[in-house]
Amino acid sequence: MLVVFSFKAKHGREREFEELLNNPDAARAVARAMGAVRNALFMKDGRMIRVFEFPEGATPVPLHEIAERDPSLKDFLRKLGPLIEDGFDVDRPETLVAFNKRAFVPQAFDVKV
């Protein structure tokens, strides 16, 4: 199962946004914590697209739950929230839940050849 999120940096914050997100070790840790087996990042001009791959039947662990268990992830999210358009406040979990709903891109189809 693939899950895709996309969001954009605030104008003028693109470089800081891309530098913060472009960390394969952190991405790997987030993927593991969520139960994903893959975490691919695509970025261009302050736009981020992240693709998580989960085993069939797996239910992704919500990011706000992981943040409560992992202080380093919570710190990362605290830095990220102010950099993105229509962001979130990690200390108010409901804003992170709402952000994830806005950033989620539903799958139209998955064709295997």
Q: In total, how many domains does the chain have? A: 1
Q: What is the pLDDT of residues 12-38, one digit of tens each?
A: 999 999 999 999 998 998 999 999 999
The CATH number of the domain holding residue 21 is: 3.30.70.100
pLDDT score for 23: 92
Whole-model pTM over 0.75: yes
pLDDT score for 112: 87
- Helix residue ranges, H only, the chain: 14-21, 24-34, 63-69, 71-80, 93-103
Whether residue 110 is contained in a domain is answered as: no
Whether residue 67 is contained in a domain is answered as: yes
CB atoms within 10 A of CB 58: 13
Whether residue 113 is contained in a domain is answered as: no
Q: Which residues in the chain land under pLDDT 50?
A: none
Whether residue 94 is contained in a domain is answered as: yes
